[in-house]
Each structure stands twice: as structure tokens, then as C-alpha cells.
């Protein structure tokens, strides 16, 4: 378990103790290859951290799937549109392999963001980084 927390903390410049606290407050879920967190046109407001596996964000254009990004162990995963705007997703988020995620509902994560400077900075970093993807689709 520690390796993906270390990767998450290194990627987002987040203190390890707070990273462990975050994970301890999240629900562990497993997925099969081909499972989707959200499909294009659906809504999902939860926040995820990848414990294992590879995920892909893609959308349909003229009947063809267009990949936007791939994510793996230790990376954050969420529908920017759903989380920020409570809007439907413009992409499908799909497991490319057997996978496991830690999940937290938006309301619970928002309370953590308000609880400390470290968590507030994590929120800022996540949305600065992930928000740029939103405007390419």
C-alpha cells in the first residue's frame, strides 16, 4: 500500500502523513478491465486515487474513440466536469486492466480541503493540473 501513497505524494508534492490520512478516509474498490467510472454523458462527482492498474480517459468523435490521457498507480482520477461543475462528463473513464481505486465523495473531500493548508494546496494543485485537460476536449 505504501508505494502508491508515496507516488501520489511525490506527484502532487503532498506530505506523506497527510497522504496516508487521506487514504485511510477513502473506500477501497476493485474493477475489471473494461469497467467504467463514468461514461461520456453521465455524471460522477467522486474523487479517486489509483492503487493499482491503468485507466484511460477517452471520448467519441465521428464514431472513433479518441484517447485524452492514461493514468496509473498513485495518480488522482476524477471527472473534472462532474466534480467542479456537477455537469455530465465529456469523457469516459475506463479501466484498461484489473484495477483498484480508493474513492471519496466530493462532500467529504471538500471538508478535508477546508481542514488544513496542506489539503487546501492539494486541491489547488489537483484542479490546476487536471483542469487544463478539460479545455482540450
Q: What is the pTM of this model?
A: 0.88
Strand order of the β-sheet with 64-71 is 36-38, 92-95, 55-61, 64-71
What's the pLDDT band for 127 if we cut at 50, 70, 90? confident
User: What per-residue confidence (pLDDT) applies to 133?
Assistant: 44
- Per the model's pLDDT, the better-predicted residue between 41 and 126 turns out to be 41
DSSP 73: T
Is pLDDT at 93 greater than 90 in this prediction?
yes
Q: β-strand 27-31 against 76-77: which pairing, if any?
A: unpaired
Q: How far, in Å, CA of 120 to CA of 126, rounded?
A: 10
- Per the model's pLDDT, the better-predicted residue between 124 and 111 turns out to be 111
User: What per-residue confidence (pLDDT) applies to 65?
Assistant: 92
How many other C-beta atoms lie within 10 A of the C-beta of residue 106?
16
What's the pLDDT band for 137 if we cut at 50, 70, 90? very low
User: What per-residue confidence (pLDDT) applies to 117?
Assistant: 92
What's the pLDDT band for 123 if we cut at 50, 70, 90? confident
SS (H, E, C) 3-34: HHHHHHHHHHCCCHHHHHHHHHCCEEEEECCC
Q: How does pLDDT run across 3-53, given as a tens digit for each residue?
A: 889 999 998 889 999 999 999 999 999 999 999 999 999 999 899 999 999
Amino acid at each position: 500500500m505504501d508505494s502508491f501513497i508515496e507516488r501520489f505524494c511525490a506527484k502532487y508534492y503532498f506530505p506523506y502523513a497527510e497522504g496516508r490520512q487521506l487514504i485511510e478516509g477513502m473506500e477501497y474498490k476493485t474493477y475489471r478491465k473494461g469497467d467504467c467510472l463514468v461514461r461520456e454523458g453521465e455524471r460522477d462527482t467522486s474523487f479517486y486515487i489509483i492503487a493499482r492498474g491503468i485507466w484511460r480517459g477517452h471520448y467519441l468523435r465521428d464514431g472513433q474513440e479518441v484517447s485524452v490521457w492514461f493514468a496509473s498507480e498513485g495518480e488522482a482520477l476524477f471527472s473534472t466536469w462532474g466534480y467542479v461543475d456537477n455537469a455530465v462528463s465529456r469523457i469516459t473513464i475506463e479501466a484498461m486492466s484489473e484495477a483498484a481505486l480508493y474513492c471519496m465523495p466530493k462532500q467529504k473531500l471538500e471538508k478535508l480541503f477546508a481542514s488544513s493548508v496542506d489539503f487546501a494546496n492539494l486541491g489547488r494543485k489537483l484542479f490546476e493540473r487536471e483542469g487544463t485537460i478539460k479545455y482540450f476536449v
